[in-house]
Chain A
Amino acid sequence: MNWVGKSRALAIGPRIPTRRADSAVPTVTSNRNAENFRLSNGLKDFLWLIGDVEHGRLLDLGPIWQATLTFFVERGFRLTTEDILRSWKEYTNAEEDRLRRARAGEETVALSPDEMAAHFLQYALQYPPEEFHAVLAWDIFDYLSGELMKRVAGRLYEIVRPGGAVLGLFHSRPPDEFHRYRIVDHQTIETIPAMAPSGHKRVFQNREILNLFGRFKSAKTFVGRDQLREGLFIR
């Protein structure tokens, strides 16, 4: 995945996906309108960076979608999916259950936020070092607790190969509703309203984003008209 000296025109030219009749492009139904689709220069660059990888491995930190799966499988990638927000929600619910079920008088220690984050990551994001060529992180960092957010960013650094890329999204203002994301084509992302696993936690300043991914070699951010910032981080 060495893109140094890579000619963008040559790299992108033949790789622009064409819509095949049998491809699993998400269908636009009545409840989906054009506002659900957004051009993504971050995705475009992300795909360009990993375009030369053969038999690549990609980690999607959102829910699984046929469209996203098909998109990457057709490009020879092996896709791993781990819906980290959902897992975190399940973990916190289980933790609350544990405390609630504790009998009166029984010594039950509530974990601190930092301990919870550490404990959660003993089960989540468990992959060998440098396992993935690319990670789709979407906007999870806006929704994770502060302690977990830093640990997840650190874990991503460990499981991404040198030269690998992470694509993240960051809201410029608290979003009206929670969205899931799936890939439509090489530069279009569909945003799908969904039930939020947790509330929106923060709006990052640009400097905070760069600090969060400080271990990565380089970072590039894109700002769309909808004020959703896209961050591309290269390990």
Chain B
Amino acid sequence: MWRKQSEVKPSTSSTGSFDSPSYAPPAGSAPASSSPSISSFSGGSSPSVDSTILTRGIRIKGDLAGKGEITIDGELIGSVHVSEARVAVGPNGHVKADIEAREVVVRGNVEGNLRGRDRVVLGATGSVKGDIDAARVVIEDGAIFRGRVEIGRETLQRHEQEARKSAPAPAAQTAPAPKPASPAAAPPKPAPTPVQTLSAPNTSATTPSPASASSSTSSSTAGKEPVSTPAGSSGGSR
């Protein structure tokens, strides 16, 4: 049903069923005889060693895992794990899967959670229904997203792990420490997360001029007693 073009064994392994019911290569693409539904190749301009492309019209049910870069412009249902490489969902891509990769770029449609060790990019034509967890997140104007974004959690965890490893034994102090020093007990405060933007260079000179100044009125709709927050409500843990 599909054939591999390259002699190089792809680094990406997949399990599941492949289905290419009515694939017609888009105009301008390679001749049909050499047009791979799934192609794997080495080298090229890409810095990654291996790359796999699921072209438009291909439908896959299953799990993809490996080390090579994956480009999905077809349809995929399952999961994708390529922790050391990049996964790109093209404009024609429809993915119902959790994607875990070094970098995830979405310009198509994804239903699933995205986890980018380095970053997640949501392009202008991209649509994601799911949660994003990445060190950095880039959102282009026009992107559609429904879900939760958590940035820097993995980075924070890495820092905590490193801190645990490199934590020196509690030194003698003039004031007695209440407990043995535990890095976990005092995790480093997360640094401001770098979030990259694809927008044009910041024109800070064009300071927005206030269009309105406002007056305020206030009222209490349910009593005037002080509002207090339950203990632990600021923890943020679910």
Supposing A4-B226, A27-B201 touch, asked if A34 and B211 sit within 8 A by C-beta, the answer is yes
B175: min CB distance to chain A, Å:
26
Of B152, B214, B221, B237, which is within 8 A of A230 by CB? Answer: B214
Contact of A163 with B by CB under 8 A: yes
Of A69, A133, A161, A188, which is within 8 A of B210 by CB? Answer: A188
Complex interface: stretch among B72-80, B177-185, B191-199: B191-199
| Residues 56 to 87 of chain B near chain A (Cβ within 8 Å) | none
Find chain A residues with CB under 8 A from B197 CB: 24, 66-67, 70
Find chain B residues with CB under 8 A from A28 CB: 203, 206, 208
- Given A66-B139, A217-B221, 7 other A-B residues pairs in contact with their CB atoms under 8 A: A2-B228, A25-B204, A39-B210, A66-B197, A81-B149, A162-B233, A223-B216
Cα–Cα distance between A73 and B168 once the two chains are bound (Å): 31
Cα–Cα distance between A184 and B237 once the two chains are bound (Å): 28
Cα–Cα distance between A216 and B221 once the two chains are bound (Å): 7
Query: Can you list, as one digit per residue, whether each of A217-235 has a CB less than 8 Å from chain B (1) or not (0)?
Result: 1111111111010100010
Query: Can you list, as one digit per residue, whether each of A31-72 has a CB less than 8 Å from chain B (1) or not (0)?
Result: 000111111111001000000111111000001111101100
Find chain B residues with CB under 8 A from A39 CB: 210-214
Contact of B223 with A by CB under 8 A: yes
Contact of B173 with A by CB under 8 A: no
Residue of A nearest to B212 (CB): A224
Find chain A residues with CB under 8 A from B214 CB: 39-42, 222-225, 230
Find chain B residues with CB under 8 A from A1 CB: 229, 233-234
B232: min CB distance to chain A, Å:
10
B195 x A162 contact (CB < 8 A): no
B145 x A34 contact (CB < 8 A): no
Supposing A27-B203, A29-B200 touch, asked if A69 and B221 sit within 8 A by C-beta, the answer is no
Contact of B174 with A by CB under 8 A: no
Of B199, B219, B226, B233, which is within 8 A of A161 by CB? Answer: B233
Find chain B residues with CB under 8 A from A74 CB: 192-193, 195
Contact of A142 with B by CB under 8 A: no
Contact of B17 with A by CB under 8 A: no
B140 x A87 contact (CB < 8 A): no
A56 x B149 contact (CB < 8 A): no
Contact of B162 with A by CB under 8 A: no
Supposing A27-B203, A215-B222 touch, asked if A226 and B193 sit within 8 A by C-beta, the answer is no
B202: min CB distance to chain A, Å:
6
Supposing A65-B141, A73-B149 touch, asked if A162 and B227 sit within 8 A by C-beta, the answer is yes
Cα–Cα distance between A65 and B138 once the two chains are bound (Å): 9
